[in-house]
Structure 1
Amino acid sequence: MTTQHKVLVTTRFFDDEAADYLRREGCTVVTAGLPHGQTDAELSPARLHELLAGVSGWIVGVVPVTREVLAAAPALQVIARRGVGYDNVDVAAAKQLGKVVTIAPGGNEPSVADHAVAMMLAVAKRLRETHDRMAAGDWVPLSGTEVYRKTVGLVGLGRIARGVAQRLRGFETKILAYDVAPDLGYAESHDISIVDLLTLLSQSDYVSLHLPLMPQTAHMIDAAAIARMKPTAILINTARGGLIDEAALLAALQDGRLAGAGLDVFEAEADAGQRPTADALLRLPNVVATPHAGGASREALARANLIAAQTVIDVLDRRTPAAERVVVDGRSAG
């Protein structure tokens, strides 16, 4: 790299190895200086505009990357998401403005797959409820259920879902999967039955969501979908909160029409008006929740940080990153 570029990092937990890699490639690394516990979503528009001045590459967290933000940063060439989701980025605007948007596949998938299975077990074995009762002095055992030889439905059969299926083999589970464009060869070779969504919902003991949030997937798990599920079923979401109509989920859990839920993501992450529903879900004993932490293992963060840094350098050096890392490349249009 012959030109000194400025790279802005607004993600939390960006490690020294990834930052040093950027510096070795001739970049100046600028951070947002966020207080502990805050994300870049809390950056004011004025502060974000200030940080982006003269920046060529941006490793972004969850702050909305709007057309207005992109248009106000003419030097910005590449927006790199550390995860595989990019619903906070206006990719159409990025392409039109000649910018590249990338993701980091291979970074957090093992960690999220671990997390999904952990949530299945935690809800099934009533770990949260048992812990709370013991802390209150009640040591009477509660009766839970098993994952062993149950039917697990994977909604989406991408990298994370495949990792979940791999981990569940030791439990001798029957795996069903729904995907709009399923890899039938992969499914057959891994003993995964491809079914329609209604069949999956009605037959599964555990339903685990592994889809991006798009207009066609928003609230796909609504009151009607939940009504198709077994009352003994457990719903797991480590993907995006907007996939579930959380008001409908809350009602089903309160009424005993669903056994439990493991939720790593919530609609309230993108819409503060949904916080009361999220808070009500958190108060239920049959809900195990985490704050979008599925990919937050030390190992996953290190992998994803380095992948994001590598894609930034590829673009700044006028190379094309690996195809699976590119969401849009607007350089030919810009």
Structure 2
Amino acid sequence: MTIPRVVVTQRFFDDETTAYLRANGCEVDIAESSKVEGDGHLTHDQLVGILSGADAWIVGHARVTRELLEALPELKIVARRGVGYERVDVEAARALGRVVTIAAGGNDASVADHALGLMLAVGRRLRETQMNMVAGNWTILISSDLYRKTVGLIGLGRIGRNVVQRLKGFEARILVSARTVDEAYAEANGITYVDVETLLRDSDYVSLHAPLSATTRNLINKDTLALMKPTAVLINTARGGLVEDRDLLEALKGGTIAGAGLDVFLSETDPGYRSVSDELVALPNVVASPHSAASSVEGLARTNMVAAQCVIVVLNGRDPPSGCVVADGRGRASR
């Protein structure tokens, strides 16, 4: 009986999850390149070389194209160690009979913690204060509380709901703009659904938790930033494409809003924006991180395990949890 081969190309794959895969009868191959850089830089030919003969692939940020899938006929499942899948050709995977999964629920708590951390860091001007202290200036900068402030959440998926739970401890007034309205959830958690314009006008902190789509791309732009309070703070731990970064840079430099906490940038997918990202990161009223909100030890371990569990059930001919399935082409003829 052939032992199924699972290839991991993402960094920070823990020993416990590796042991789980092996205990379930798999050979585990952790790509050497993933130990240093991850897989986002790997070319088509490099990926084919690494993945040739693999039954399952636990992937980070590599592009999963039709061409790649066609070159890997034995590959049954592509399991994202994360929740975004915009780099995966989902339609091609489905047409070619493959399964694509995400690690739903694995990093929700980690990203929510990070969002709250950015709110606190920007509002309390921690970066500015430390920069001044390093320069020998210990003057106290007056900052702002999160306590009892109005926080607007754009999007209310798993991460957004985790943020709601954390904001309750700050006695925040929580406004939400989302595609669907859950009145029972709103009543149980003390949130108020509003339209985007009202949320932007009324919020002291605006935190983005929406997926990137044709309707949400550049949702935060010159016009929508102009609706916000000059004392407001923008938080983005979702996707860089939700914000037009050039407009945000001008808003922060010109005082349209007070500050921003950014974990994602347009330059991640559009290198032409790299200079804009560099300028944003250099501003004293910006606290930034390199798309690392999900990258706590605990969050990575959880997402590793969810991805591995999806691999095992698919290799055994069963169905992954519905919230993890992006595409399931089993039973469909390749074309």
Aligned partner of 1:273 in structure 2 is 272
In the alignment, residue 328 of structure 1 is paired with which amino acid?
Answer: A
2:107–2:303: 8 Å Cα contact kept in structure 1?
A: yes
Alpha-carbon distance in 2 for matches of 1:37, 1:264: 21
2:8–2:59: 8 Å Cα contact kept in structure 1?
A: yes
Residue 193 of structure 1 aligns to a residue in which SS?
Answer: strand
Alpha-carbon distance in 1 for matches of 2:164, 2:262: 18
Alpha-carbon distance in 1 for matches of 2:233, 2:53: 49
TM superposition shift of 1:38: 1.5
TM superposition shift of 1:43: 1.2
Aligned partner of 1:95 in structure 2 is 94
Aligned partner of 1:48 in structure 2 is 47
| Residues 258-277 of structure 1: per-residue CA shift (max 9 Å, x gap) | 10000011111122221111
In the alignment, residue 235 of structure 2 is paired with which amino acid?
Answer: I
Alpha-carbon distance in 2 for matches of 1:77, 1:182: 37
Aligned partner of 2:165 in structure 1 is 166
| Residues 129-172 of structure 1: per-residue CA shift (max 9 Å, x gap) | 11111111111111111111110000001111111111111111
TM superposition shift of 1:73: 1.1
Alpha-carbon distance in 2 for matches of 1:24, 1:238: 35
2:11–2:34: 8 Å Cα contact kept in structure 1?
A: no
Aligned partner of 2:305 in structure 1 is 306
Q: 1:200-215 maps to which residues of 2 (within 5 A)?
A: 200-215=199-214
Which moved further from structure 2: 238-247 or 67-76? 67-76
TM superposition shift of 1:37: 4.9
Residue 87 of structure 2 aligns to a residue in which SS?
Answer: coil
Give % identity: 54
| Residues 69-111 of structure 1: per-residue CA shift (max 9 Å, x gap) | 1121111111111111111111111111111111111211011
1:319 aligns with 2:318: yes
Aligned partner of 1:249 in structure 2 is 248
Aligned partner of 1:20 in structure 2 is 19
Alpha-carbon distance in 2 for matches of 1:124, 1:80: 37
Which moved further from structure 2: 112-121 or 45-54? 45-54
1:29 aligns with 2:28: yes
1:157–1:182: 8 Å Cα contact kept in structure 2?
A: no
1:108–1:303: 8 Å Cα contact kept in structure 2?
A: yes
Aligned partner of 1:82 in structure 2 is 81
Alpha-carbon distance in 2 for matches of 1:37, 1:275: 22
Query: TM-score w.r.t. structure 2 length?
Result: 0.97
2:264–2:291: 8 Å Cα contact kept in structure 1?
A: yes
Residue 39 of structure 1 aligns to a residue in which SS?
Answer: coil
| Residues 202-251 of structure 1: per-residue CA shift (max 9 Å, x gap) | 11110000011122211111111111111111000001111100000001
In the alignment, residue 259 of structure 1 is paired with which amino acid?
Answer: A
Residue 167 of structure 1 aligns to a residue in which SS?
Answer: helix
Aligned partner of 2:58 in structure 1 is 59
Q: 1:185-224 maps to which residues of 2 (within 5 A)?
A: 185-224=184-223
Alpha-carbon distance in 2 for matches of 1:133, 1:149: 28
Alpha-carbon distance in 1 for matches of 2:198, 2:259: 20
Distance 1:278 1:113, change over 3 A: same
1:3–1:26: 8 Å Cα contact kept in structure 2?
A: no
1:160–1:210: 8 Å Cα contact kept in structure 2?
A: yes
Residue 84 of structure 2 aligns to a residue in which SS?
Answer: coil
2:51–2:72: 8 Å Cα contact kept in structure 1?
A: yes
Distance 1:35 1:6, change over 3 A: closer
TM superposition shift of 1:182: 2.6
Alpha-carbon distance in 1 for matches of 2:180, 2:86: 20
Residue 95 of structure 1 aligns to a residue in which SS?
Answer: helix
Q: For this pair of structures, how many residues does the alignment match?
A: 333
Alpha-carbon distance in 2 for matches of 1:39, 1:273: 22
Aligned partner of 2:126 in structure 1 is 127
Alpha-carbon distance in 2 for matches of 1:175, 1:110: 18
Alpha-carbon distance in 1 for matches of 2:164, 2:127: 24
Gaps of at least 5 residues in structure 2 are none
In the alignment, residue 304 of structure 2 is paired with which amino acid?
Answer: N
Alpha-carbon distance in 1 for matches of 2:266, 2:331: 35
Alpha-carbon distance in 1 for matches of 2:154, 2:98: 32
Alpha-carbon distance in 2 for matches of 1:92, 1:45: 19
Aligned partner of 2:153 in structure 1 is 154
TM superposition shift of 1:35: 6.6
TM superposition shift of 1:183: 2.1
Which moved further from structure 2: 62-71 or 164-173? 62-71
